[in-house]
Structure 1
């Protein structure tokens, strides 16, 4: 599968919540996922900037995609921990961009870091999350 085919498949089969939010994966490999999210008023808090929960959900989705790309066939993943540092707002109308990379790729635990940038390319948030990898149907 080519890189473009992988991106198309990930966008087509992405989680319903990520699709509803408008997450668009733009590049993907086992070592790096890139995505963007156009900030609309529905994503915002007051004042009109990207809500912290939307930032966390954006990053959580991408960490899950990274875990999916690196886990054995038939396994499942779930987030068991997430930490976010909010550094600057992302105003409505801008497109937030994210770069997700692995910190640790273990058999049972994966740790992912997502850097989220505002529309001017400035770092807006850093999200670190831990993904549990488990067998399908098991605990």
Structure 2
């Protein structure tokens, strides 16, 4: 499989949308894997001063979604998320959080991706994430 996407192409692709607005930066694109990071900024925190769960889920979902795009089967046009789940085990108030999304199942009609979000400096796990993507084909 030859991947046609790069970190730079995905960063450009998402810059005008939620990933770019939040500051998500794709750092690696490989077969069955995408890595990304997000600097923890005040606008990503909940009112209690800790990282908002939605910020963590958006980072994980972006990495898994871009990984799905990079690994679409022959003839597929796109995808849509049909299920996602996250378990939050920690948080951050500063620094950078990182994610690695890896393929669990790369089928013709669905893909399943796991993502682990960590504090980049300490490698402490912040969240475990899993999503299922439905693969879309042209009519």
Alignment TM-score > 0.5, same fold: yes
How far residue 94 of structure 1 moved from its aligned partner, in angstroms, is 1.3
Match of 2:106 in 1: 105
| Preserved CA contact (<8 Å) 1:60 1:79 | no
Query: Does the Cα contact within 8 Å between 1:63 and 1:112 map onto a contact in 2?
Result: yes
Residue 96 of structure 2: aligned partner: 95
- 1-side partners of 2:110 and 2:53: how far apart? 25
Number of aligned residues: 134
> What is the alpha-carbon distance in structure 2 between the residues aligned to residue 29 and residue 73 of structure 1?
20
Question: Where in structure 1 do 4 or more consecutive aligned residues deviate above 6 Å?
Answer: none
- Residue 43 of structure 1: aligned partner: 44
Across the aligned residues of Structure 1 and Structure 2, the Cα RMSD in angstroms comes to 1.9
Q: CA deviation at 1:74?
A: 5.1
Structure 2 runs not aligned, ≥5 long: none
Aligned to 1:33: 34
1:46 CA drift (Å) = 3.1
CA contact (8 A) 2:33 2:67 kept: yes
Deviation, structure 1 residue 14? 2.2
Deviation at 1:73? 5.0
Q: TM-score, normalised by structure 2?
A: 0.89
- In 2, the alpha carbon distance for the partners of 1:49 and 1:38 equals 13
Q: Do structure 1's residue 12 and structure 2's residue 12 form an aligned pair?
A: yes
Q: What 5-or-longer segments of structure 1 have no aligned partner?
A: none
